[in-house]
Amino acid sequence: MQHLSHPHLLSVKDLNRLDLDLILRRAKDFSENFSPKTPVELLHGRVMATLFAEPSTRTRLSFERAMLALDGQVLSITGADSSLTKGETLEDTGRVLSQFADVIVARHPEHGSIQRIAQGATVPVINAGDGIGEHPSQAIQDLYTIKAHHSNLEGLVVGIVGDLKHGRTVHSLTQVLAQYRVSFVFISHPSLQMPRSLIAELEAQKIAVQETDDLRQAAASLDALYVTRVQRERFSDIETYEDLKLAYQVDINLIKLLKPSCSILHPLPRVGEIDPAIDGDKRALYFEQVRNGIFVRMALLALLCGDNL
């Protein structure tokens, strides 16, 4: 019987290196044996409840597809449809959903909200995004994609460009990659830099970190380039957003500066920061990331709520 070291997945801090390696192995197994028409009957009779109080396409659908691929069932609700609109607390919401499901997957715009749902829940809870906080399953999906492309993660130079201040995907990804001793180049406008607290954590772990606002200068040194959009929903001043949204663009000219082996990733959706003209380049892995999300989330669901694995 294999399980993760923590009963929930609320933060990548819940995962140690053994956990991550286990998830990656299970996801690889699922990817190699995946059949769209034949579910793996690991979670037969189990129910997953999804609560999304923020919009989602890839995360929500990949969790639901993953549960169906494990022969489980899905109950789904949005924040607008839930009793949260009537003032129900997040803790009570967690307890209520636990009466219907064996695992809860939740997204909410408030930082720390999913932890509060887990406080009330009596079943495993997976954080599918809490405001500007974290998005752990996305980080593992990205980790899996990078490893599949490069085989060995140790020693890679990973560039992360875009909205590093608000980007929960990059906050989580940075922390899981740090467990594999990569080096980072953080590329952003000065007003969208990675939080100082996260930089301090990396430096305490003796992880090499470089910060710059010049993507073209950094490009040739990178083994992987992770691109993020500037998040309009995090800005109160739309004029500021409009000024910053296309500060960095990955296009035909930019990819000429990258190594032939460099991987290009994006959590999606993209809103102009990656030119569709490069989609056919073998280094462009962002749609492969989407598919890999199914296998990673199959692994997470199986490890968190399966019995005989």
Indicate if 107 belongs to the active site.
yes
Indicate if 59 belongs to the active site.
yes
Catalytic residue among 8, 26, 60, 107: 107
Indicate if 86 belongs to the active site.
yes
CA–CA separation, 59 and 62 (whole Å): 5
Indicate if 245 belongs to the active site.
no
Catalytic residue among 135, 165, 229, 266: 135
Indicate if 135 belongs to the active site.
yes
CA–CA separation, 144 and 299 (whole Å): 12
SS3 content of the chain, % helix, strand, coil (to 5): 45, 15, 40
Q: What is the DSSP letter of 251?
A: -
H/E/C letters for each residue in 130-197? ECCCCCHHHHHHHHHHHHHHHCCCCCCEEEEECCCCCCHHHHHHHHHHHCCCCEEEEECCHHHCCCHH
| CA triple 17-208-224, angle to 5 deg | 75
Catalytic residue among 8, 26, 46, 59: 59
* Strand stretches in 70-138, DSSP E: 73-78, 103-108, 125-130
Which of these, 8, 10, 6, lies nearest to 127 by C-alpha position? Answer: 10
CA 86 to chain CA centroid, nearest Å: 30
Catalytic residue among 3, 6, 58, 270: 58
| CA triple 61-64-66, angle to 5 deg | 105
State the catalytic residues. 58-59, 86, 107, 135
